[in-house]
Structure formats: structure tokens, C-alpha cells
Amino acid sequence: MKVIGLALCTRPASERIVDESKVIITKDEYDLSSIPFFERKNCKSLIQMAIRVLCGKVAPGGMRSLNYPDIQHVFHVVVKSDGRAACTVTDVSYPTQSGISSSLGLLQKAATIDLTSEIKRLQNPAEADKILRLQREIDAVKAVMVENIDKVLERGEKIDDLVERSAALNDSSKQFYKRAKKLNGCC
């Protein structure tokens, strides 16, 4: 799972779909370290063109995740109703919900965000998505609770066993008392 790039764009908000020439990338950053060195420039140009095209095709107020199988990348695009847009480019194994969430986060922090550090932070999808992080915490708590319930059930079985043994011991002591009374009664 890897974030390849982040981009902030502007586009006309008055039109539902716009040509890519009307989409302006205002801020972008890419981590192309996994791409061979001599292909990085072409790959970056291709990703920038795809971002402009996709930000133009998503209507204001919309969000979409679009998979490009030819380049093994997914573009998570969010366009606000005022024409501001954000795109998170990830590999295909990155969770869609985390990609959309990171694009929304980019728009919220657009004025002050450092995209280089943001790419590093988003390499872990749980950092990008609060829901995913909470789900993992819930899963951990659930596992602990299942373990505790198993222990309680096991302890309940042991308590049942102890109750049976104490009942048997009680019966034995009653029989011992009766025999002792008989034996002592004859003297």
C-alpha cells in the first residue's frame, strides 16, 4: 500500500464537467521512488495529466475513486462545490475509503499543508482514515473481549466442577456422620 502523489487543484465551479485545460494544479507532490529513474519525469507528467482530466470529470460537490489498470494507480478525487479539488494517487492495494478521506483532509488543510510530510504520513492508511483506525481499535478490543469471555466460560466450568465435588463431599460427610452416630450409639 503506497501513496504515489497528492495534488490540490482549482476548476470552474459553474460547470459540471470541464476540459482538463481549465483545471489548474495549484500544489502537488509525488513519491516516485518506486519508478525507475529515467521513467519518473514521464510518469509524473502522465499522473499530472490524469489528475487534470479526472478533476474536470468529477462534478462539483462530488467524489470518486477511479482505477487506471494500465498504470496500476487509483485516483481518489474530491471536488468541492466552490471548485477546489484534491486528488490522492495511490497504488491499487491502498484502501479506497482511506484515499477519499486523505483527499478530504487535503482540502481542509489546503492553506497550511506540507505535501511532502503528508505523503510520508499517509503511507499508513490508518493515519489517513480515522474510521479505519477506529475499526482496528474496535477489532483489538473485540479480540480481548472474546478472550475474556472464553476465560469466564472456562472459569464457569471449573466452578461447576467444584460445586459437583462439594456436593459429593457433602453427601460423603453426611454418610460418615450417620455411620459414626450408629457406631457410637451402640456403646
Which tens digits make up the pLDDT trace of 113-139?
Answer: 888 888 888 887 776 667 777 787 888
Q: Please, which pLDDT band fits residue 7 given cuts at 50, 70 and 90?
A: very high
Looking at 128, 150, 165, which one is the last position of a domain?
Answer: 128
Q: What is the CATH number of the domain that holds 12?
A: 3.30.450.50
Q: Does residue 187 register a pLDDT over 60? A: no
Residues 137 and 115 reside in one and the same domain: no
Query: Environment class of residue 123 by beta-carbon count within 10 Å: exposed (0-12), middle (13-18) or buried (19+)?
Result: middle
41-91 tens-digit pLDDT? 888 888 899 899 999 989 899 989 888 877 788 999 999 999 899 999 998
**Which pLDDT score is estimated for 152?**
82
43-57 tens-digit pLDDT? 888 889 989 999 998
Residues 108 and 144 reside in one and the same domain: no
**Which pLDDT score is estimated for 127?**
67
How many domains, in total, are found in the chain?
A: 2
Which string of DSSP letters, residue by residue, matches 80-131?
-TTSEEEEEEEETTS-HHHHHHHHHHHHHTTTT--HHHHHHHHTSHHHH-HH
The type of residue at 160 is D
Domain that holds residue 82: 3-128
Query: Environment class of residue 156 by beta-carbon count within 10 Å: exposed (0-12), middle (13-18) or buried (19+)?
Result: exposed
Residues 109 and 33 reside in one and the same domain: yes
Looking at 128, 154, 177, which one is the last position of a domain?
Answer: 128
Residues 20 and 34 reside in one and the same domain: yes
Residues 139 and 63 reside in one and the same domain: no
End-to-end Cα distance, the chain? 90
The rounded distance, in Å, linking the Cα atoms of 138 and 149 is: 16
Residues 39 and 108 reside in one and the same domain: yes
Report field, pTM of the whole predicted structure over 0.75:
no
Which string of DSSP letters, residue by residue, matches 147-180?
HHHHHHHHHHHHHHHHHHHHHHHHHHHHHHHHHH
Could you tell me which of 25, 31, 39 has the C-alpha nearest to residue 1?
Answer: 31
Percent of the chain with pLDDT over 70: 97
Looking at 99, 128, 157, which one is the last position of a domain?
Answer: 128
**Which pLDDT score is estimated for 133?**
75
Average pLDDT, the chain: 85
Any idea what DSSP says for residue 15? S
**Which pLDDT score is estimated for 13?**
84
Cα dihedral sign, 144-146-150-155? positive
